[in-house]
Amino acid sequence: MIKVAPSILSANFVDLKPDIEVAQKGGADLLHIDVMDGQFVPNLSFGPGMVAAIRPITSMPLDCHLMIENPERFVSQFCEAGADIVGVHVESTPHIYRALEMIKQHGVKAEVVLNPGSPVSLIQDVLPIVDQVLVMTVNPGFGGQKFIAQMTSKIQQLNQLRQTGENDFKIEVDGGINDDTVGEVYQAGADIAVAGSYVFNSEDPIAQIKKLKLRTKS
Ligand SMILES: O=C(CO)[C@@H](O)[C@H](O)COP(=O)(O)O
Ligand SMILES: [Co+2]
């Protein structure tokens, strides 16, 4: 069964706490926090202060997806704010290896993220040091976009790479996940699915989380 990480980008910004509580009650495995700087992506969202504010109100692991230029400037702040996983885009820095090492030095799980236009070969040399790979299945920056179906083969490729036993990482997918697309990414090898609009733009977020899990029950 796939793990589900609801993204608070589609939650109620005026009153996040009830949405976070409902996600946890629905069996969410992680809470996904999308961090945007207006440079790497054409949108702005949350900073480390938001992570620090959420930390005491949930026991779900906090999965921080940094969509910011030169993330090594901020990884320490996110780790110290209480992140359990910090994801950095390979396209966002010439020093991806350093950024990932910095995250690990804080005892936090290090994740490398791939944009839809980036091939798996771009991250091959950091695979031995990452805990997780995040495959973007939409162009980063906004919730509520359509799943890019061609990304399924990228998930399969990554899944094959870890079968060799040399690397041990989880595969997470992000963007356009719903009850139509979740089965396909799970079959391809995804372990964790981020879901924003599918969960929070619904009258019944708990039912939505359960549906994603049921669709992948083998
Ligand atoms: O990182 C991002 C967008 O950049 C995501 O985490 C979105 O927040 C997912 O939203 P949905 O596609 O599930 O609505
Ligand atoms: Co995200």
* Domain residue extents for the chain: 3-215
Q: Indicate which residue of 19, 29, 34, 37 is catalytic.
A: 34
pLDDT of residue 153: 98
Q: Which residue has the tokens 């779900």?
A: 60
Q: Please give the structure tokens belonging to residue 136.
A: 């973007």
d(CA 62, CA 6) in angstroms, rounded, equals 10
Q: In the sheet that 31-36 helps form, which strands lie side by side, from edge to edge?
A: 3-6, 192-195, 170-174, 132-136, 109-114, 85-89, 62-67, 31-36
Nearest in space to 197 (alpha carbons), one of 30, 34, 8: 8
Annotated binding site for substrate: 7, 65, 141-144, 174-176, 196-197
87 lines ligand 1 (CB under 6 A): no
Query: Contact 24/199 with Cβ under 8 angstroms?
Result: no
Mind listing the pLDDT tens digit for each residue in 32-90? 999 999 999 999 999 999 999 999 999 999 999 999 999 999 999 999 999 999 999 99
45 lines ligand 1 (CB under 6 A): no
For the CA of 36, the nearest atom of ligand 1: 4
Q: 197 CB contacts (<8 Å, ≥6 apart)?
A: 10, 143, 144
CATH for 3-215 is 3.20.20.70
d(CA 217, CA 47) in angstroms, rounded, equals 35
137 lines ligand 1 (CB under 6 A): no
Task: Tell if the pTM clears 0.90, that is, is over it.
Answer: yes
Q: How far, in Å, from the CA of 217 to the mean position of ligand 1?
A: 23
Q: Please give the structure tokens belonging to residue 167.
A: 């690397």
Going from the C-alpha of 124 to that of each of 68, 119, 139, 176, 218, the distances in angstroms are: 21, 10, 21, 25, 30
Q: Please give the structure tokens belonging to residue 105.
A: 């030095």
d(CA 133, CA 88) in angstroms, rounded, equals 10
pLDDT of residue 63: 98
Q: Are strands 3-6 and 31-36 parallel, antiparallel or unpaired?
A: unpaired
Mind listing the pLDDT tens digit for each residue in 155-214? 999 999 999 878 999 999 999 999 999 999 999 999 999 999 999 999 999 999 999 999
For the CA of 65, the nearest atom of ligand 1: 1
* CB-neighbour burial class of residue 129 (10 A; exposed 0-12, middle 13-18, buried 19+): middle
In the residue annotation, 174 being an active-site residue is answered as yes
Query: Contact 209/27 with Cβ under 8 angstroms?
Result: yes
Does residue 107 surpass a pLDDT of 90?
A: yes
Annotated binding site for a divalent metal cation: 32, 34, 65, 174
